[in-house]
Structure 1
Amino acid sequence: MKQKLVTGIVIIFCLGVLVLAARWTPSDAGKGKIKVGQPAIGVVKVEGVLMSSGGTYGGTAGTADIMQALQEARKREDIKAVLLRIDSPGGSAVAAQEVGEEIDRVRAAGKPVVASMGDVAASGGYWIAASCDEIYANPATTTGSIGVITELLNVQGLFEKLGIRSEVIKSGPYKDMGSMNREITPEERQILEDLVGDVYQQFLEQVETGRKGKIKPEEVRALADGRVMTGKQAQKSGLVDTMGNYYDALDRARELAHIEGEPQVVELNSADPLTRLLSRFSASSLVNNNTRVPMAY
């Protein structure tokens, strides 16, 4: 009985520590130390798979949080520049566009935005980076993967073996397009190919516009076949500006904002430790994951 009680107390204590760790973020450590009126650089983190809405512990980067952070950076007078720290394998094309639009608004307000790539900033992650004034990457960063993909699962054979039948009542011929229990028709394939092609064209235009003067449109298109590359290769190709880590990018943001001396650094959004851990797993396993309609992977 006594041993069970001790075990229970230990478990409760460990759970309490985990909860506190999950609630604490690096930005908490700096609260109360911000000097009013002193120039600052806002840090916005993009971690995990990009989705228009992301769960707290799902290893996804919900755009609402990121967009709010960028809006705060744009409106705050003390924030003179933004450092966008990207560690994402990509995800929803819409999510990437939403973040890119907010980056454009920050830049239009006269505040430079510098992208700093972590372990991975591929596909949708690169889409976002291309919206920034400059891109920093580490030599071994995984980036590129410019392209769009959609994949449909067909379990018709399995259903037949299990004796499962599906009856579909639909208002139009394409309402059940992508159904798992039948083959896709040639007409449906063409519709989806056109959809993927349209989003792909939007991706290309974003990269060509964002990297204008640094890489030619025809060079972008030659690289936009879905290939991944290292940060070093991306720099050689013109997709990345400079090799450097987080602090190198932070210093560049200071220079672009003409901030004298050491600036304040304000983290405008910060995932808790557990979410960051889940994001790592997501980033490593989903770079080549093919289950989405359509995703900028």
Structure 2
Amino acid sequence: MRVHPLSGILVAAGVVVFLGLWATSTRAAWDPLEIFTPGERVGVVEITGVISRATPILEDLKKFREDHSIRAIVVRINSPGGAVGPSQEIMEEINKTKKVKKVVASCGALAASGGYYIASAADLIMANPGTATGSIGVIMQLANVEQLTKKIGVDFYDIKAGALKDMGSPFKPMTPEEKAVFQSLLNNIHEQFINDVAKNRKLPVEKVRALATGRVYTGQEAKELGLVDVMGNFNDAVEKAGRMGGIKGKIETVYPQKRGFSLLKLLLGSDAESPLEFLTSPYPQPAFLPPWMH
């Protein structure tokens, strides 16, 4: 049986396209050039979108920290913040990492609230003059749909053990006692935020407390207030991190190996699935988010 010459061309083209997509998906993790540039690399960890889980970022930081060919790390932040626990976990991992290697935080368009919490732990924070940052505050929003459920004829019943077990339920009014408990919770977390920023930035606690109204600052304002160190873009951050790490020549960047593929991740970004879980969670939880996302 004769095979049409065009068939071979199509197969070859398909192989080329497949290999191209594979190379893109694995990114720098399989770049052969990296094998020949030991000790001249800066690792880049990207934090994008709403922060709802820490595990992938913790893994990336740990791998770069233990990789002897990585001399310094840039944490690139484009995030409005998010859940409290994950933001604190990432901050602590950066504090652990900078004991071994220099860490530079590069703030893109937005590094606010939990995004700034994370940035504060770096050896140096670099932002653009117009970066939206700061927003040192905590918020928790609870809906009450009791009147709506009555209109549509739906009743909800709570069976509980513990007087405050159903606090925050959207199907009943909040009592003064419940509101006081929530306020105490947020005050405590806010104080943690203030103290951590003061410690990380080596600023007086009272100065940070005065800035911790939840308002957003521009990168330029943040620099004047001591919340940011220098102005600069991502390339500047890579250059600075490399020199801080002792690289004399050309600086190569390396990114973590790409994780599993999904259509949602392709359309909305690598962290798109977990923020959806966070934003649609039925359980009330405090969050580090700027005012316009409340």
Query: What TM-score bracket applies, with the shorter chain setting the length?
Result: 0.7 to 0.9
Q: Is 2:46 the partner of 1:45?
A: yes
Asked whether the equivalents of residues 90 and 118 of structure 2 are also in contact (C-alpha less than 8 Å), the reply is yes
Q: Give me the whole-angstrom Cα distance separating, in 1, the residues matched to 2:160 and 2:39.
A: 61
Q: For residue 146 of structure 1, what is the aligned residue in structure 2?
A: 136
Q: Give me the whole-angstrom Cα distance separating, in 2, the residues matched to 1:281 and 1:45.
A: 10
SS of corresponding position for 1:50: coil
**1:52-201 correspondence to structure 2 within 5 Å:** 52=53, 63-109=54-100, 111-201=101-191
Q: For residue 27 of structure 2, what is the aligned residue in structure 1?
A: 27
Q: 1:32 to 1:23 in 2, by over 3 A?
A: closer
**1:192-211 correspondence to structure 2 within 5 Å:** 192-211=182-201
Q: 1:135 to 1:40 in 2, by over 3 A?
A: same
Q: For residue 11 of structure 1, what is the aligned residue in structure 2?
A: none
SS of corresponding position for 2:185: helix
SS of corresponding position for 1:68: helix
Asked whether the equivalents of residues 44 and 269 of structure 1 are also in contact (C-alpha less than 8 Å), the reply is no
SS of corresponding position for 1:33: helix
Moved more, 273-282 or 189-198: 273-282
Q: For residue 252 of structure 2, what is the aligned residue in structure 1?
A: 264
* Of 197, 204, 216, the match for 1:216: 204
Q: Give me the whole-angstrom Cα distance separating, in 2, the residues matched to 1:222 and 1:22.
A: 50
Name the TM-score, length of structure 2 as normaliser: 0.81
* Deviation of the 1:141 alpha carbon: 1.0
Q: Kindly provide the amino acid, as one letter, of the partner of residue 256 in structure 1.
A: M
Q: For residue 296 of structure 1, what is the aligned residue in structure 2?
A: 288
Q: 1:170 to 1:23 in 2, by over 3 A?
A: farther
Asked whether the equivalents of residues 72 and 242 of structure 2 are also in contact (C-alpha less than 8 Å), the reply is yes
SS of corresponding position for 2:172: coil
Rg larger for = 2
Asked whether the equivalents of residues 28 and 257 of structure 2 are also in contact (C-alpha less than 8 Å), the reply is no
Q: Is 2:217 the partner of 1:229?
A: yes
Q: Give me the whole-angstrom Cα distance separating, in 1, the residues matched to 2:21 and 2:152.
A: 47
Asked whether the equivalents of residues 118 and 141 of structure 1 are also in contact (C-alpha less than 8 Å), the reply is yes
Asked whether the equivalents of residues 72 and 103 of structure 2 are also in contact (C-alpha less than 8 Å), the reply is yes
Asked whether the equivalents of residues 39 and 78 of structure 1 are also in contact (C-alpha less than 8 Å), the reply is yes
Asked whether the equivalents of residues 139 and 288 of structure 2 are also in contact (C-alpha less than 8 Å), the reply is yes
Q: Give me the whole-angstrom Cα distance separating, in 2, the residues matched to 1:276 and 1:122.
A: 25
Q: Give me the whole-angstrom Cα distance separating, in 1, the residues matched to 2:271 and 2:73.
A: 27
Q: Kindly provide the amino acid, as one letter, of the partner of residue 130 in structure 1.
A: S
The aligned length equals 263
Asked whether the equivalents of residues 84 and 114 of structure 2 are also in contact (C-alpha less than 8 Å), the reply is yes
Asked whether the equivalents of residues 123 and 143 of structure 1 are also in contact (C-alpha less than 8 Å), the reply is yes
* Deviation of the 1:27 alpha carbon: 2.4
Asked whether the equivalents of residues 126 and 143 of structure 1 are also in contact (C-alpha less than 8 Å), the reply is yes
Q: Kindly provide the amino acid, as one letter, of the partner of residue 243 in structure 1.
A: M
SS of corresponding position for 1:104: helix
Asked whether the equivalents of residues 29 and 257 of structure 2 are also in contact (C-alpha less than 8 Å), the reply is no
Percent of pairs identical after alignment? 40
Asked whether the equivalents of residues 151 and 290 of structure 1 are also in contact (C-alpha less than 8 Å), the reply is no
Q: 1:87 to 1:185 in 2, by over 3 A?
A: same
Asked whether the equivalents of residues 43 and 269 of structure 1 are also in contact (C-alpha less than 8 Å), the reply is no
Q: Kindly provide the amino acid, as one letter, of the partner of residue 286 in structure 2.
A: P
Q: Give me the whole-angstrom Cα distance separating, in 2, the residues matched to 1:151 and 1:276.
A: 30
Moved more, 262-271 or 252-261: 262-271
SS of corresponding position for 1:125: helix
* Deviation of the 1:37 alpha carbon: 2.9
Q: Which blocks of at least 5 consecutive residues in structure 1 are unaligned? A: 1-16, 53-62
* Deviation of the 1:279 alpha carbon: 5.0
Q: For residue 292 of structure 2, what is the aligned residue in structure 1?
A: none
Q: For residue 240 of structure 1, what is the aligned residue in structure 2?
A: 228
Q: 1:22 to 1:51 in 2, by over 3 A?
A: farther
Q: Give me the whole-angstrom Cα distance separating, in 1, the residues matched to 2:31 and 2:163.
A: 58
Q: For residue 5 of structure 2, what is the aligned residue in structure 1?
A: none
Asked whether the equivalents of residues 39 and 68 of structure 2 are also in contact (C-alpha less than 8 Å), the reply is no
* Of 214, 238, 255, the match for 2:243: 255
Q: Kindly provide the amino acid, as one letter, of the partner of residue 132 in structure 2.
A: T
Asked whether the equivalents of residues 123 and 296 of structure 1 are also in contact (C-alpha less than 8 Å), the reply is yes
